[in-house]
Amino acid sequence: GQNIDQPTEMTATEGAIVQINCTYQTSGFNGLFWYQQHAGEAPTFLSYNVLDGLEEKGRFSSFLSRSKGYSYLLLKELQMKDSASYLCAVRDSNYQLIWGAGTKLIIKP
């Protein structure tokens, strides 16, 4: 079967750096997405990786290794507003999106 694994919950300190990992096993690969979802709100798009390497976008970076079926989302200079769930999703060979259950990130002052 297809599955996406990511930690259920993580805690980090304001101003610090946190890395959220995502491993996947899917039938084929056509890109990996990271979404942010604040409590009670809709998921919003953060980043997209289709080739190996690091994609940087301000305080957020996303890394992909297709050979290892692995990605991470790196958040720098954490702010309280970064407290949210972070969802990893992979598009498989049928262009279906397979979603992880999300990682709830708690930022402490």
Partner 1 sequence: SAVISQKPSRDICQRGTSLTIQCQVDSQVTMMFWYRQQPGQSLTLIATANQGSEATYESGFVIDKFPISRPNLTFSTLTVSNMSPEDSSIYLCSVEEETGSSSGANVLTFGAGSRLTVL
Residue 67 in the binding site for partner 1 (CB under 8 A): no
Q: Are 75 and 59 in contact (CB under 8 A)?
A: yes
- Stretch near partner 1 under the rule CB under 8 A, chosen from 14-22, 38-46, 58-66, 72-80: 38-46
- Stretch near partner 1 under the rule CB under 8 A, chosen from 14-22, 31-39, 65-73, 74-82: 31-39
What does the CA dihedral 85, 46, 100, 109 come to, rounded to 10 degrees?
A: -20
Report the residue from 14, 17, 28, 99 that binds partner 1 according to the rule CB under 8 A.
99
Residue 71 has what DSSP assignment?
E
